[in-house]
Copies of this chain bind each other. A is one copy, B any other.
Amino acid sequence: MNLILLLPDDGIDGSGRVRLRGRRLRHVLDVHRAAVNDELCVGLLGGGIGIGRVLTLTPEVLEMEVRLDRAPPLPLPLTLILALPRPKVLRRVLRTASSMGVKRIVLLNARRVEKSYWQSPYLEPHAMNEQLLLGLEQARDTMLPEILTRQLFKPFVEDELPGIVRNTLPLVAHPTALAECPRHTDRAVTLAVGPEGGFIPYEVDKLAGCGFTPIRCGERILSTETAVTALLARLF
């Protein structure tokens, strides 16, 4: 937690004071080991970033005087389309993508996505939200990513995807692709990453029909989680 994320209902009052309990209080006590008058990095969810000066710190409550004077870092100009991964991987990918500045993620069905993954409790909004918030706290960001779930591949690709890819560079990660992932692009990107085992040829064809170029990231086959991080680091 490199930034203490303040939520709208923490009730920052007119004097800029905020009171925290629970997880964030414990983290400040146990990890930051802060003391009165220490200054901690804080940010308001959806808002600015700044400093919180500790006024009171007891096992029951943390009270800070907060000054938010900076904008959060710029979002990545990217939509990430992710074939729904295994639930445990999903958690980590959401946290990682959030920490890297991704602001729109589409979780999509694909042939090689196991049906049971769609029943996972990790897909519930509050569970995904938790990972996204952890990513923001890690990265010192305040802007929550948006997540869309789409359980039907074909209608999504035919009806919604053309609007998403408009004015972007559409790329699909595919280990057997011949082209390498572009480096340090100044364009907005729509990046599709398949399931373990990859998109099937029909799916790659459908994406190609929508303008997607298959690309790879070196000659090694990377796990979903590693591939997402590596591709984002190359692209931007």
Contacts and interface: CB of A to CB of B under 8 A. Distances in A.
A101 interface: yes
Query: How many identical chains are in the complex?
Result: 2
Nearest to A136: B220
Interface residues of A, number: 28
Interface in A88-126: 96, 99-101
A38 to B, nearest CB: 15
B183 A223 contact: no
Given A226-B99, A229-B226, A230-B100, A220 B139 contact: yes
A2 interface: yes
Contacts of A230: 100, 229-230, 232-233
A209 interface: no
List the 4 closest A-B pairs by CB distance, nearest first. Answer: A230-B233, A139-B220, A233-B233, A229-B229
Interface of A: 2, 73, 96, 99-101, 138-141, 183-184, 217-223, 225-226, 229-234, 236
